[in-house]
Structure 1
Amino acid sequence: MGAPSINVLFKQTGITAIKRGERGIVVLLLKDTVPATNPIVMSTVSDMPATLSAENKEQITLAFMGYEKPPLEVIAYIVAEDTTDYTAAQHYLETIKWDYFAFPEIADADVNTFATWIKSLRETIDKKVKAVLPNCAGDNEGIINSSNLKNVVGSKIYTAKEYCSRLAGIFAGTPLTISATYAPLSELTDCDHLTKSEMDTAVDAGKLILMNDGKKVKIVRAVNSLITTTADKGSIFKKIKIVDIMDQIHDDIKSTVSDSYIGKVPNDYDHKVLLMSAIGGYFDQLELAGLLDKGKSSVYIDLESQAAYLKSVGTDTSTMSEQEIKEANTEDKVFIAAKVKILDAMEDINLNIAVYEV
């Protein structure tokens, strides 16, 4: 029979959710002397162990800078300096909660391996996490492709690898109500200089790039590496903000259903209605919070899937009304669906100004 499962499938026209949870946890994979307690969980910069190298303390500090807020936590998983096999670290990270991953000392040959791991976590393990990886054309909403060659702070230049921790902290510290597009990086004094055409090409190629507008360095557009869209995964999946909201909703429904519904509630029609009502109430909260478009959310029995299941167990649905199909006994299976519209942030503004002659 296998273990009870919760499949939350996101398409552009449907999301199911229950309860908002916390977000904003960054995981850093660092090479150092492995401490007795590993990983190191930090809520502020002051939680950093004194035994870490200066370089690793710098990476943790960069991650904690955040955007409007710092990340909720930064978790440093330490591996030995000569480590080349990261299987143990990956296995451990599959078992704990986090949102964004960065590996400042990642070898070029390992970038695609870690991208594949993140994709597997999202698509196979159903763990909706993201990674900021250097120069990684991952073509996936879970991979942010850090592509700036130089990130300048005075006389110091951070490479794309060395700056991934900072970007992971920015995205983890960005409220779901806004986008990190045009987010300023106050510590930077300069970065790559690209023309408008070069920036457009880079963004369209799924690259996360920075620009110097003459006064400050800022993110050009908060996009992930996804470039290949489908009917079920359209262009909105390219936006980090949109994917963050989808992932948050996914995590909320998964944890709440696991804690409050699976194995605890009778699977009759009345209780399915109560479950749908709870989902609707959650959508109302997201609408009030400015994450979902008001009045565009609905929750209902997935009639097509429920009818297909009934037929698969030998039930003749040909003479049943829609309501009878909705109320039919589906053993331990629940088939519900929802529609919402996620709100994006203002990014492209067109303003026509008419000038009157005197």
Structure 2
Amino acid sequence: MAAGSWDPTSLPIRPGIYINFVEVALAQITGGARGIVGIPLFEYGTAEAGKFYTFENEREATDVLGTQYNDVVIRALQGGAKEVLVYTVPTNADSEQQYIDMRDAFEARQFNVFVYADEVSATEQDNTLAWCKRNREEGKHFMVIFGGSTADDQDPTVGNARSIRLMDDYAVNLITGVVLSDGSELNSSQYASYIAGLIAGTPINKSITYEVLPVVDVTRRLRNSEINAALISGSLVLVNDGRKVKVEQGIVTNSNESKRKKIRNIRARQAVATDIPATACDNYIGKIDNNDDGQAALISAIKAYLETLETNNVLTDLYVGLDKQRPSVGDSVFLEVSYTEIDSMERIFLTINI
């Protein structure tokens, strides 16, 4: 089935359902299976090369990868991922082609969040984001989590520059390393798998802002001015508030001082772009007539889907109907969908009168 965005001046040819998000009408959508983190492994012990493995618990990961290579999978599961989809990348003398082949392999699989196990070059970060964008245009939606090196984490301006370079609605860039209970440290690239699991496993009507993390400290505590600069740059920051380590704010890299785009919002947009086409493919495309009754059935189904989200405090003020500007004739149906998103309460302002 074809899916993706559409341009009213050049309609798609393939049969399918095409959704055009208009910024003022976007809202948070949920539904369907969530929680799958995709991770490519370039080192995997005795596991078979060029194969996908699905892990739902630590024991499965240890049985296949051993204790030397299972840690990244365990972190994603501990973060909250329902499943971790691992691809054991075959060795290739051409490193660039190795990454290309790996990303091509993932395109045939379903996952919600993609993350590397460790540091990758700036070039491969850029290529991965370009891959994510291309998939989005073709109707496949997932988030990508990035991080930096141990040295990068000591200078927040380096991490912020990475956030700006990787600016996109579907990208999250962690700029903080962590200290574990045994005193060992993980840089932001290594801890990104936990964040990937956290994002994948958090319900879409919830935010990861102020989520408490199972670590004892961050590798560099940022000052208030540095935290503000990081948020304006679109960086995901972990802070030690003196008692616990937590996520400062769940934002994507395409954020700025006037508009911080939330992970919660973006994952909801990904959900509507995934769930409605899937339902239409199974029950409507090629199966019902494009007349008043068929159009009413499609509208009713989409509205029922959105109403379940409204009940769960994901959105409100929803409307689904035929597009008044474009006639639905022949084999084409044009719909208008609007709703208002419900955000998390993240900033509380008090006026105390004495």
TM-score range, shorter chain: 0.7 to 0.9
Q: Secondary structure at the match of 1:177?
A: coil
Which segments of structure 1 move beyond 4 Å, counting only runs of 4 or more? Answer: 15-19
Matching residue of 2:8: none
Q: 1:88: Cα distance to partner?
A: 2.0
Structure 1 residue 333 and structure 2 residue 332: aligned? yes
One-letter code aligned to 2:87: Y
Matching residue of 2:89: 79
Instruction: Determine if contact 2:50/2:89 at 8 Å carries over to the other structure.
Output: no
2:301 to 275, 278, 281: 278
Q: Secondary structure at the match of 2:145?
A: strand
Q: 1:58: Cα distance to partner?
A: 0.8
Instruction: Determine if contact 1:207/1:225 at 8 Å carries over to the other structure.
Output: yes
Matching residue of 2:17: 6
- Give the 3 Å change call, closer, same or farther, for CA 127–164 of structure 1 in structure 2: same
2:131 to 100, 114, 117: 117
Instruction: Determine if contact 2:116/2:193 at 8 Å carries over to the other structure.
Output: yes
- Give the 3 Å change call, closer, same or farther, for CA 302–228 of structure 1 in structure 2: farther
1:59-118 per-residue CA deviation (whole Å, 9 max, x = no partner) reads 11110012xxx2121111111466622222211211111000111234223211111111
Instruction: Determine if contact 1:203/1:209 at 8 Å carries over to the other structure.
Output: yes
Matching residue of 1:235: 259
Q: 1:6: Cα distance to partner?
A: 1.8
One-letter code aligned to 1:235: K
Structure 2 distance, partners of 1:15, 1:198, is 31
Instruction: Determine if contact 1:17/1:253 at 8 Å carries over to the other structure.
Output: no
2:75 to 62, 68, 91: 62
Structure 1 residue 262 and structure 2 residue 290: aligned? no
- Give the 3 Å change call, closer, same or farther, for CA 49–195 of structure 1 in structure 2: closer
Q: Secondary structure at the match of 2:25?
A: coil
One-letter code aligned to 1:275: L
Q: Secondary structure at the match of 2:326?
A: helix
- Give the 3 Å change call, closer, same or farther, for CA 244–89 of structure 1 in structure 2: same
1:210 to 238, 259, 275: 238
Q: 1:11: Cα distance to partner?
A: 2.2
- Give the 3 Å change call, closer, same or farther, for CA 302–183 of structure 1 in structure 2: same
Aligned length: 321
Structure 1 distance, partners of 2:255, 2:274, is 25
Matching residue of 1:130: 143
Structure 1 distance, partners of 2:269, 2:17, is 15
Instruction: Determine if contact 2:318/2:339 at 8 Å carries over to the other structure.
Output: yes
Q: Secondary structure at the match of 1:60?
A: helix
Structure 1 residue 30 and structure 2 residue 41: aligned? yes
Matching residue of 2:3: none
Matching residue of 1:151: 178
- Give the 3 Å change call, closer, same or farther, for CA 17–202 of structure 1 in structure 2: closer
Matching residue of 2:325: 304
State, as a whole percentage, how many aligned pairs show the same letter. Answer: 26
- Give the 3 Å change call, closer, same or farther, for CA 13–20 of structure 1 in structure 2: same
Structure 2 distance, partners of 1:205, 1:116, is 20
Instruction: Determine if contact 1:144/1:225 at 8 Å carries over to the other structure.
Output: yes
Structure of greater Rg = 1
Unaligned runs of 5+ in 1: 307-328
Q: Secondary structure at the match of 1:163?
A: helix
Structure 1 distance, partners of 2:82, 2:169, is 22
Q: Secondary structure at the match of 2:179?
A: strand
Q: 1:352: Cα distance to partner?
A: 2.1
Q: Calculate the aligned-residue CA RMSD, in Å.
A: 2.3
One-letter code aligned to 1:257: A
Unaligned runs of 5+ in 2: 1-11, 148-158
1:101 to 97, 102, 114: 114
Instruction: Determine if contact 1:184/1:219 at 8 Å carries over to the other structure.
Output: yes
Q: 1:47: Cα distance to partner?
A: 1.7
Which structure: greater helix fraction? 2
Alignment of 1:155-166 (within 5 A): 155-166=183-194
1:166-199 per-residue CA deviation (whole Å, 9 max, x = no partner) reads 1100101111121000111123433421111111
TM-score, L = length of structure 1: 0.83
Greater shift after overlay, 186-195 or 207-216? 186-195
Q: 1:257: Cα distance to partner?
A: 0.6
Structure 2 distance, partners of 1:56, 1:253, is 38
- Give the 3 Å change call, closer, same or farther, for CA 263–72 of structure 1 in structure 2: same
Instruction: Determine if contact 2:231/2:256 at 8 Å carries over to the other structure.
Output: no
Matching residue of 1:91: 104
1:327-355 per-residue CA deviation (whole Å, 9 max, x = no partner) reads xx611000011111111111001122233
Structure 1 residue 39 and structure 2 residue 52: aligned? yes
Q: Secondary structure at the match of 2:272?
A: helix
Instruction: Determine if contact 2:30/2:268 at 8 Å carries over to the other structure.
Output: no
TM-score, L = length of structure 2: 0.84
